[in-house]
Chains A and B, each alone.
Chain A
Amino acid sequence: MKQEESGKYVLRTENLTKIYGSQRAVNAVNMHVKKGDIYGFIGKNGAGKSTLMKMVAGLVAPDEGKIELFGSSDIEKQRIRIGSLIEAPGLYHGMTAKENLEVYRRAYGITDRNVVNDTLDLIGLKDTGKKKVGKFSMGMKQRLGIAIALLKSPDFLILDEPINGLDPMGIHEIRDFLTTLNREKNITMIISSHILGELSKIATAYGIIRNGELVDEFSAKELSVRCRRCQKLVVDQVERAVNILEEELQIKEFDVPEASVIRIYEHLDDAKEINHRLMLAGIEIKESYLAGQDLESYFMERIGD
């Protein structure tokens, strides 16, 4: 990997692969998480999200490929800068929230004892007092899991389904909290979630994994373009059709994503007229329809549902 290029990435993987038996749980993944990104990691259950996150966090050893963290290949050293919540938050149910954090404060060698109270305050669990974690709601447990991930003031957070089990209010709070962390503390994040609508409210970049393969990576800006409403045309003579659109109809906002497909993003109310002009020029229109997806259906299509 080129040095100057790798500097802007918090995480880069090269052909990262994990094989369980005969199955490639993660297959030659090249992932790029830029500094400051909130990277929405999307995929169905069993697509390989958690396995990939575990490899990055050092819980699972890759079979092939490379991981680069903060521009360095010495990932053992760099992993100290990672906070993670992967699958279930690792909590001691017989202890209070404060005692749980105390366990990790000591393990991480944090000398400032105030860190425990400050983190509980930050995550909204300061008033749980002597209540044992076993009696916490799912949402409170998730928050405590995030608190543990934050305890060491990480530069990079890996959160696997962090809003699992939260009620709408809880989801809203965690979303705001993560956005604030990203903006104010400049913490880069990978977040996987099934709640795609929620993810799309905070993510600045996306990666889509399907059957262990990273099928797409794009920014939030690109996504909005991809989901834009358009007139989709399937024609037999694309070049002639493009000429007519540009020269005769003065249409500038269109693209040709596939060999016989044209997407027109303007004059959507004039679709009939556009079709008429193309037919007059002898172009056969095989399909013509107004397209455009909400984010959720776009993701569903990409992840293979």
Chain B
Amino acid sequence: MINLLHSELYKLRKSKSYKVAAVLSVLFVLFTYALFGIMQNMGTGSGNPGTMEIVQKLSGIGIMDIMKQMFANCNAIIFATIFMCIFVINDYSSGAIKNFVGKGYRREEVYLAKFFVTELGAVTLYLLVAVSVLVVGIAYFGTEQLTGAFWTDFGNYLTMQILYLTGYTAINVFVCAMARNMASGVLISVLGIMMFSGPILNGLDYFLGFLGADFGISQYWIMSVISNCPVADIPSGFIVQSGIVAGGWLVAAMTGGMILFSKRDI
């Protein structure tokens, strides 16, 4: 297992998709701030009533709002997803996976090594985004916002988002191992998991409500907790509930992935 991790870490270090995802993530943070700057500058001029309303709302924005924009609105996760899909599926599409299986390791170990290093890559991408938001935010807003409460909110929010990311990564690696094809893997991950899962589950909630059920299944979906996590003063109830959701998906998807990989022909 150690050897496999050693090898996967080397691949991560050499991965072009990882480097590209890292650069794009930072560029997207800069783009978000630039867009914010343009909108704010518009506030000094004149505009139609609708535009001015948006500008007035923007004037109260701080670093934590940009954090929310990057994480809750799935901007950071989309770059992480592209990296994950390429990093995992490349082993299948190139046939390289054949050189790891049947070499004295259990298949579960081969899967887990890939999974752990993919998690590591995704988490470091998240950290890079958070640091970029912070550094560019300080350059943009100054240090006035950096109070004790800010650091608490920043740390808590980032920790929660990283916790959710681990669950999401488990699902994504499982999907990629199942798809084994770059096009379908990316398509299922980006469209199926990220974009359409929310509306579909909300629709199911509505349907269950219509049937008289007093619970919604969307709150147990990882993308829901990613979006619904408050940026400040996270309630302890939400921490526990979302932690269970993330942990549940992590364990379920990781176990499912190991079983799938151990049984399937290569």
Chain A contact residues, CB within 8 Å of chain B: 54, 57-61, 76-77, 79-80, 82, 84, 86-95, 99, 102-104, 106-109, 148, 152
Contacts and interface: CB of A to CB of B under 8 A. Distances in A.
Contacts of A109: 3
Nearest to A55: B265
B57 interface: no
Contact of A79 (B11, B14, B90, B102): B102
Contacts of B263: 61
B11 A103 contact: yes
Given A59-B102, A60-B265, A89 B10 contact: no
A108 B3 contact: yes
30 contacts: A57-B98, A59-B265, A59-B266, A60-B266, A61-B263, A76-B104, A79-B102, A82-B102, A87-B95, A87-B98, A88-B94, A89-B95, A90-B94, A90-B96, A91-B95, A92-B11, A92-B14, A94-B14, A94-B16, A95-B14, A102-B10, A103-B10, A103-B96, A104-B7, A106-B3, A107-B6, A107-B7, A107-B100, A109-B3, A152-B103
Given A57-B98, A79-B103, A106-B7, 18 more contacts: A61-B265, A77-B104, A79-B102, A79-B104, A80-B104, A87-B95, A87-B98, A90-B95, A90-B98, A91-B94, A92-B90, A104-B99, A106-B10, A107-B3, A107-B4, A107-B100, A107-B103, A108-B103
Contact of B98 (A84, A106, A108, A152): A84
Interface in B10-60: 10-11, 14-16
Contacts of B120: none
Nearest to A78: B104
B87 to A, nearest CB: 11
Contacts of A87: 95, 98
B194 interface: no
Nearest to A89: B95
A305 B11 CA distance: 45
Nearest to A99: B14
Q: Which of A91, A93, A106 has the most CB of B within 10 A?
A: A106
Closest 10 CB pairs of A and B: A58-B102, A90-B96, A107-B7, A90-B95, A109-B3, A106-B7, A80-B104, A59-B266, A60-B265, A88-B95
Contact of B266 (A54, A80, A152): A54
Interface of B is mostly: helix
B46 to A, nearest CB: 51
B146 to A, nearest CB: 40
Q: Which of A89, A93, A95, A108 has the most CB of B within 10 A?
A: A108
A92 B3 contact: no
Contacts of A148: 99
Interface in B182-240: none
Nearest to B266: A59
A57 B3 contact: no
A90 B91 CA distance: 8
Contact of B94 (A57, A79, A80, A92): A92
B89 to A, nearest CB: 13
A54 B6 contact: no
B234 to A, nearest CB: 40
A150 to B, nearest CB: 12
Contacts of A57: 98, 102
